[in-house]
Each structure stands twice: as structure tokens, then as C-alpha cells.
Amino acid sequence: GIKIPDAIITSLVVNPVNGSILVGTWDSGLYSYMPGRPGSPVPLKHETCTVDQNGSPLPGDKKNKQKLLRGVQGGGFLEKSPPGRRRQEKALLCISSMLFDNQRLWVGTIDRGLWLSELKKGPMVFKKIKKLSDYRVTSIKASPRGDKILVTTMGNGLFIYTGRTGKWKILDKKRGIPTDDLNISVCDEENIFSGSEGEGVIRFNLITGQVNQYKLLNEIAHNNVSVVTPEPQNNRLWIGTEGNGAAFLDLDPGKWTILNTSNRILNSDVVNCITVDGSKGRAWIGTDDGMVKYDIGSRKHQRYGFEEGLDSVLVYASGFDHIKRLWAAFYIGSPALFNPQKNRWVTLEEAPSSICYAFSIARKSKSIWMATTNGIVNYNIKTHKNKNYWPDIEFRSVLFDPGKGELWAGSWGKGLFYMEVKKFQQQKIKKFENLAVLDIKRDERNNTIWFATNIGVFCLDKERQTFEHLDVTAGLGFNYVLSIGITADSIWFGTWGGGVSRLKY
């Protein structure tokens, strides 16, 4: 309900003095909004020091040095020169960021540097910070303790203000960081992390002064990681992306190999599933345009589509059953079974024909649990009969533990479901209410279960029956987690927009 005509809003902060909301805009200056007050929001009236291009007061009498600006022009702040000077300019018009800190308001602008106002009664008085005169400020953040202010700029690096000493420290290319073009900076007790323009994330250790740089892996070249599949027999990790194919990482040398349409291995760069046969050094890659079998040793590949027996080339899920038969499920049509003697796929017409997003084929089990658009389906491999659970809910992930007879099912926006299959006892887990649960994996080493959701990952400690939540504050690349992979010493998380994150034991 807050209407600001013809303005691009860049920041919102609450004034702790009077409870008003200050709205910073890209092209129309500052607005003050008082909830419940008629006529609000209004352009912010203020006073400011008259300064030169270096931020110093212009010559003139005492009155002209102290203030002299009232009113607003075009929603911005119009800075008037003292008598005898014709120069006029707008300050605080193009606002990029704001921060309240200890009764002070910091305002960053696109082309007029950084401004500071002490919060007092009456009009706000803004002073231009000489150190950042005419710089392009991209963000302003406070440290967790509030003792430091981080002012990030595009083209001039990072400025750190320490309130206790009143001094500034500069981090830029001259002082050891890779670039001066920074978008945002945050910090903890020991480190500052800055997001840059084209140079990834830059980490500066406040204690040692060490600089580390974290860039997108050139071998992957895409941050939407839909699949993470470990290959423990050969110490490899496979990933599938939604835009640049698949890649595998040889963990020992740390070398990536990419497989996509550019090197003519895949027909589509959208990868939905990867099933690895480590004993044969072979991977099956399901894409939006068929299935590909890739032999790692020989680097040879074979594509499978309609001519090789597939009813649909939109391959969504795949996996081996208890006798090492390969299954695949699709966007349209029934699941298919691969016949290695004929090198073809055979569709099982009696199987469910809903869209299947995930399989759970447990060892020593003679059935397949499928997460589909019409509930969780249990397909008996021997009798070819189906059972349907929660048929009105769309599911994206499923995990079945045959030893304990436990079934975990993750839905699309409806949360997490649990069932003791033998007792047919079903329940919905309240902690996951209205969440999308996109992948479920068990870590057998410590009896934990991991859940990938749209707000991070959850870990269930089966012994203590407690959930732990991890998100970007714990180091995830992004909160929207699509896939989970477990290797000998790590858990890997594929995210939407944040690449692959690794949690090392």
C-alpha cells in the first residue's frame, strides 16, 4: 500500500527514533513513511552541510558553513552554494543503500559517495564523508558486534570504519584484494567476505591479513546444480546442472571433467539424474533429451532415445534395483527397464504412468518406491502391482529403509511425510510445514537422514530424534537445495544459484 510515484526502491530502514520507515530510491531520493499517518509517504525534508567536491565546507560565513539546505527538489536533496557561488547540485538523489547504527543514519549513493546523519529531533542534518567523495557505494553493513561499518563500493574497493577509533581502513587492489569492483560485504568475528563483479567471493582475514578468493568452477560454469551423485569405488563425485550438462570430479587430484552439448556427449544440458555403476566405470545420465551411457575409461558414450525404446526423452529418475537392473522414469509414460543383451529399453505398461521425479530402490527389496505427481507409488517388481499413498499430493523425493520399514517422502510445497510401512502408520512432520523437500539421503555412518529443502538442509539425528537446520549462515552457497550426495568424508549439497557446497567431517 505504500505508493511512491516513478521510483525504483533500493533500500528500506526503520528510524528507531520515531518509528518511521525511510525508503531509499534509485532516482528520487529519500522518502519518509509514517504508518497510519495520512499523506504518507512524503519526500524527506532535511538540512545539510554545504561542501566542496572533497567533502569540506565551502568558504563563507559561519551560517553557510553549518547548514543550508531546506526542502526537496525532485524527491532528492538540493545542495545550495553560499552567496557568490552559482554552483548547485543534487546530493543524496540516487540512493543505493542505508543503515541505522547507534542513532546514526548512513546513506550510500550511486555517484555522490557516502553521507551520515546524527538522529536528532527536527530536520535531519547530513554530512558528506570526505573519504568516499563521489564514489559509487553499493552496500553498507554493520559487523555482528556493531563496532565496524563496512562500506562497499564499485570501483574503489572496501572501506571499514571502526567506531571506537573513528578511523577508516581501505581494502582495494593496491592493498592486496583481486578487484575494486565489489557489490556487497559482510563479516564475522575474524573474516570479511565480499561479493565482487566477476571475481567471485573474496575473503579477508582480519587477524592474519590473508586474502582468499572463491570463484565459480570454470569446469562446471553453472550454479544450478540439480544432481549430486558420489562414486565411492573410484573416489569421484558427479554433478548434474540445469544449463551446462554434467561433470565429474576426481577427488584425489581435484580435477573436473565436463560432459555437455558443447563436446557433443549430451543432447541436452539440462541434467535430471545420474546413476553410476562404479564397478564398470560407467555413468548413466538422464537429461531433457534422452539417456546417455558414458564410459569413463574409454571416454566413449552412447545416446538412448525413441529409437532405443524410450517412450519419452524427458528422463527424470533412474536407479539400480537389488539385482543390478537399471530402471528409468520419465515425464510422460510408464517406467522402463534396460535390457543389456539387446541394448534397448523396455517400457512396463502395467507400471504407474504419473510423472515420476525420484526412485528409492533399496537393497534386498523387490519393490520400487516412486515419488510422483499423484502421490507415492509402490511398484512390486515381481507381481507388477501398484499401491498408492497420499494420492492427492505431488512428491519430489522419497527414501525407503527396508530394514526398519520406514518411508520418508518429500512433497512439493506440502512438507515431509513419514510412514511405518509394516504398521501402516502415517504422519506429517510439523517442522516441514509448507516446505518443498527436494531430496532425501541417509548417512549410514552416523545414522542420520538429510533433507534438501527450499530453506536449506535439515539433518535428523535418529538416536536423539532431533532436527538440525543448516542454511547460508552455516556456509551453504544458497538456501534452495536441490540435491544431496554423501562421500567418505563429506556431504555435498547442490543448490539453485549457489553451486555445490561441501560439509566436511
Inside any domain, residue 447: yes
Same domain (yes/no): 471, 489: yes
Contact predicate 456/472, CB 8 Å: yes
3-state secondary structure of 94: coil
Same domain (yes/no): 152, 291: no
User: What DSSP state is assigned to residue 65?
Assistant: H
Inside any domain, residue 323: yes
Determine what percent of the chain is predicted with pLDDT higher than 70: 81
pLDDT one-digit tens code per residue, 142-198: 988 888 999 999 999 999 999 889 999 999 999 889 899 998 888 888 889 888 877
Which pLDDT does position 197 carry in this prediction? 79
Query: How confident is the model over 89-94, as a mean pLDDT?
Result: 57
Scored b (16 or more CB within 10 A) or e, 310-348 reads bebbbbbbbbbbeeeebbbbbeebbbbbbeeeeeebebe
Domain that residue 85 falls in: 1-134
Inside any domain, residue 241: no
Inside any domain, residue 256: no
For residue 453, the domain's CATH number is 2.130.10.10
Which pLDDT does position 339 carry in this prediction? 94
Inside any domain, residue 220: no
Angle (CA) 442-448-452 rounded to 5° is: 60
Inside any domain, residue 257: no
In whole angstroms, what is the distance from residue 443 CA to residue 185 CA?
A: 35
Q: Which amino acid, residue 4?
A: I
**Position with higher pLDDT, 300 vs 186:** 300
Cβ neighbors of 57 (< 8 A, separation 6 or more) are 49, 50, 51, 65
CA-based nearest residue to 44, from 113, 115, 110, 138: 115
Same domain (yes/no): 359, 418: yes
3-state secondary structure of 175: helix
pLDDT for 73 beyond 70: no
Look at residues 96, 119, 134 and tell me which one is the last residue of a structural domain: 134
In whole angstroms, what is the distance from residue 106 CA to residue 101 CA?
A: 8
C-alpha cell at 107: 546513506
Question: In this structure, is the dihedral angle defined by the CA atoms of residues 306, 307, 308 and 311, taken in order, positive or negative?
Answer: positive
Q: What band does 67 get if pLDDT is binned at 50, 70 and 90?
A: very low
Same domain (yes/no): 97, 175: no
- Dihedrals phi, psi of 65, to nearest 5 degrees: -75, -25
In whole angstroms, what is the distance from residue 37 CA to residue 43 CA?
A: 14
Same domain (yes/no): 183, 201: yes
Look at residues 86, 112, 134 and tell me which one is the last residue of a structural domain: 134
**Position with higher pLDDT, 27 vs 369:** 369
Query: How confident is the model over 201-224, as a mean pLDDT?
Result: 75
What Å distances lie between residue 496 and 227, 286, 354, 490, CA to CA? Answer: 11, 18, 25, 20
The count of domains in the chain is 3
Q: Specify the pTM.
A: 0.59
pLDDT for 338 beyond 70: yes
Instruction: Round the average pLDDT of the chain to a whole number and report it.
Output: 81
Contact predicate 493/228, CB 8 Å: yes
C-alpha cell at 258: 565436463
Which pLDDT does position 72 carry in this prediction? 30
pLDDT one-digit tens code per residue, 239-285: 998 888 999 988 777 788 899 999 999 999 999 999 999 888 899 99
**For residue 38, cis peptide bond before it (omega within 30 degrees of 0):** no
Same domain (yes/no): 466, 382: yes
Question: In this structure, is the dihedral angle defined by the CA atoms of residues 136, 139, 140 and 141, taken in order, positive or negative?
Answer: negative
CA-based nearest residue to 194, from 175, 176, 180, 210: 180
Contact predicate 469/201, CB 8 Å: no
Same domain (yes/no): 370, 428: yes
Same domain (yes/no): 58, 99: yes
Which pLDDT does position 358 carry in this prediction? 83
CA-based nearest residue to 432, from 461, 406, 401, 411: 411
For residue 160, the domain's CATH number is 2.40.10.480
Same domain (yes/no): 57, 19: yes
In whole angstroms, what is the distance from residue 147 CA to residue 60 CA?
A: 36
Same domain (yes/no): 148, 59: no
In whole angstroms, what is the distance from residue 116 CA to residue 97 CA?
A: 12
In whole angstroms, what is the distance from residue 467 CA to residue 308 CA?
A: 45
pLDDT one-digit tens code per residue, 344-366: 999 876 666 567 888 787 666 67
Cell 555403476 belongs to 277
Look at residues 215, 238, 254 and tell me which one is the last residue of a structural domain: 215
Inside any domain, residue 97: yes
In whole angstroms, what is the distance from residue 304 CA to residue 388 CA?
A: 30
**Position with higher pLDDT, 41 vs 69:** 41
Same domain (yes/no): 325, 392: yes
**For residue 82, cis peptide bond before it (omega within 30 degrees of 0):** no
C-alpha cell at 368: 520400487
pLDDT for 75 beyond 60: no
Inside any domain, residue 383: yes
Same domain (yes/no): 90, 178: no
